[in-house]
Amino acid sequence: MTLERRSDSVRSESAHGRAAALGGLIGLVLLLFFIGVALASLLMETAGNGLPVLAPATLSILRFTLWQALLSTLLSVVFALPVALSLARQRRFPGRLLLIRLMAVPMGLPVLIGALGLLGIWGRNGVINQGLALLGVQAPVSIYGLAGILLAHVFFNMPLAARLMLAGLERLPPEYWQMAASLGMRRRAIFRLIEWPAVSGLLPGIAGLIFMLCATSFTLVLILGGGPGATTLEVAIYQALRFDFDPPQAVALAALQLAVTALMLLLLTLWPAPPEVGLTDQRPTRRFDGESWSARLKDGLWLGLAFLFLAAPLAQVLLSGLRSNLVSLLSDPAVHQALAVSLGIALPSGLVAVLLSFAFSRARIALARASGLPARLLKAGIGAASSLVLLVPAIVIATGWFLLLRRFGNVAIFAAPVVILINAMMALPFAMRVLQPAVDVHHRRHDRLAESLGLSGFSRLRWVDWPGLKRPLLTALSFAMALSLGDLGAVALFGADRLTTLPWLIFSRLGHYRSADADGLALLLGLVCLLLTLIGQPGRAGENRR
């Protein structure tokens, strides 16, 4: 009987593994098909005409794209370094947790909301220019152009860099600081011998990620670019299709964008990963070098500056939204329709992203012990699936599908499903980051028990997988929906006459100089995204206590 049960368990495990691998294969094929069709459409557009010639204006756009990405990366990293060092030194001040949480907000905030907050602070009628006018300064500070793009990119990317650096510093063993205190090391020596070696290994990966994000920026450049002299490749693709209707130029720009992202990903993969340094004990880390009044004052200045830089635009969005006519906006049928369309896109987009992430996570576990060449190739393909968004930006995929679907008539008819799939692909890396660790833990805890009970298929999903993975699945869904709600690129390219989302309505009201309406709608969009985030997080405190 024991041998029979063991045999049944092995067969059940094998069947479950094959089903998981098959699900991952199907998901990967569908993802590659969606991206491949877009790329094939770009190639078809150039068939018979050869590759489009890069005009001097195109090369100028490429230079500006790389230059603003380089400057944005440099400024973000330079600002993030003292902030991370100060947070690592000052571990006991009352607002530390608040500041760390505040630094997470720009990473999940719709870009359009952040742009409006920056306009409210740094714009022509913003707080800074109003203060300068009171002081008698007549020349206003202009946020449009390169300066505005850099400011916005630092606002969104400095917190990301600071949190990653802080994580590296907090992995240092507590004995380092005890030894530094016993040797009487000064602040400069501590930075040179302890802090810099811990951070320097992380800098290439952090800088490469921020450079990729800035090189593929769309919404910020569209709002703050300020004309042809401050245009990136993604915005130029949008303009070539929506305003000039110049498909060859759009294809040339898309090819350049693809080449830039591919080169950056190649450089990132060639750079060696930094060594992992773990804590040697569980005692809380005490930083003796941060206890003097001078150290607290210097660190407090950096942390206060970071707090003001991040909190001011967010507070401006809240105050401007409350000052707008919210009652009139909430009763506007156009707002109702835009909100319904946004949620109608966000929900299926989030579901597709979560289903793909779940299928990929299960397949990676099933293929972990596989030794055949097909299994290794499938595992490598699934591992690279989440990087496809960086390799093939959403604007390139949208351009390919736009050029393909226009052959069949009005592109706006097909806009909704294409936008849903593009948003799902954009949310896939974030959903994978939430689900993959949870699925790994769930597999180690419950797979053998489920196999011994003979549970498989729908029964296993109902009694084992859903109860154990319900919370991370809902969290991933809420994050994916929030990302889809804030997207502007795909909707802007496919035309918004029949597909008016809330971000596009904000952008159109802003373009018609109805800034009060845009502020109120931005507050509404932010509240919807916050609500989605809270829906994905209930019960977390109770789970931590248990």
**Model confidence pLDDT, tens digit, residues 355-398:** 999 888 888 887 776 667 777 788 777 877 777 777 788 888 88
Please compute, for residue 406, the number of CA atoms within 13 A of its CA located in the half-sphere on the CB side: 17
First-residue to last-residue Cα distance in the chain: 39
Question: What pLDDT is stored for residue 76 in this prediction?
Answer: 96
Question: What pLDDT is stored for residue 540 in this prediction?
Answer: 43
Bin 126: left if φ > 0, else alpha if -120 < ψ < 50, else beta: beta
Which residues lie closer than 8 Å to 539 by C-beta, 6 or more apart? 471
Question: What pLDDT is stored for residue 301 in this prediction?
Answer: 93
188 residue type, one letter: R
Question: What pLDDT is stored for residue 316 in this prediction?
Answer: 92
How large a percentage of the chain has pLDDT more than 70? 85
pLDDT greater than 50 at residue 1: no
Question: What pLDDT is stored for residue 278 in this prediction?
Answer: 40
> Does residue 432 contact residue 472 with C-beta atoms inside 8 Å?
no
Question: What pLDDT is stored for residue 451 in this prediction?
Answer: 67
Residue 347: pLDDT band with limits 50, 70, 90: very high
> Does residue 317 contact residue 522 with C-beta atoms inside 8 Å?
yes
pLDDT greater than 90 at residue 348: yes
pLDDT greater than 50 at residue 5: no
Planar angle of CA 162, 159, 536, nearest 5 degrees = 120
Per-residue pLDDT reduced to its tens digit, 252-309: 888 888 888 888 878 777 765 544 444 334 445 667 766 778 878 888 899 999 999 9
Per-residue pLDDT reduced to its tens digit, 144-162: 889 999 999 999 999 989 9
Q: How far apart are CA 222 and CA 168, in angstroms?
A: 35
Question: What pLDDT is stored for residue 79 in this prediction?
Answer: 96
495 DSSP 8-state letter: -
140 DSSP 8-state letter: P
pLDDT greater than 70 at residue 51: no
pLDDT greater than 80 at residue 119: yes
Per-residue pLDDT reduced to its tens digit, 209-251: 899 889 888 888 988 886 777 888 888 888 888 777 788 888 8
pLDDT greater than 70 at residue 75: yes
Which residues lie closer than 8 Å to 470 by C-beta, 6 or more apart? none
Highest mean pLDDT among 100-104, 175-179, 443-447: 100-104
Q: What pTM, to 2 d.p., does this model score? A: 0.83
Q: Name the residue with higher pLDDT: 542 or 407.
A: 407
Residue entry with tokens 């989440």 = 386
Mean pLDDT, residues 329-348 taken together:
90
User: What Rg value do the Cα atoms of the chain yield, rounded?
Assistant: 25
Q: How far apart are CA 101 and CA 430, in angstroms?
A: 18
pLDDT greater than 80 at residue 317: yes
Question: What pLDDT is stored for residue 543 in this prediction?
Answer: 43
Residue 8: pLDDT band with limits 50, 70, 90: very low
Mean pLDDT, residues 474-498 taken together:
81
Q: How far is CA 461 from CA 127, 129, 219, in A?
A: 54, 58, 40
Chain-wide mean pLDDT for the chain? Answer: 81
Q: Can you state the angle between helices 2-46 and 247-270, rounded to 10 degrees?
A: 140
Q: How far is CA 314 from CA 109, 142, 233, 307, in A?
A: 10, 20, 28, 11
pLDDT greater than 70 at residue 544: no
Question: What pLDDT is stored for residue 513 in this prediction?
Answer: 78
> Does residue 84 contact residue 172 with C-beta atoms inside 8 Å?
no
pLDDT greater than 90 at residue 496: no
How large a percentage of the chain has pLDDT more than 90? 17
Residue 43: pLDDT band with limits 50, 70, 90: confident
Residue entry with tokens 């970071």 = 306
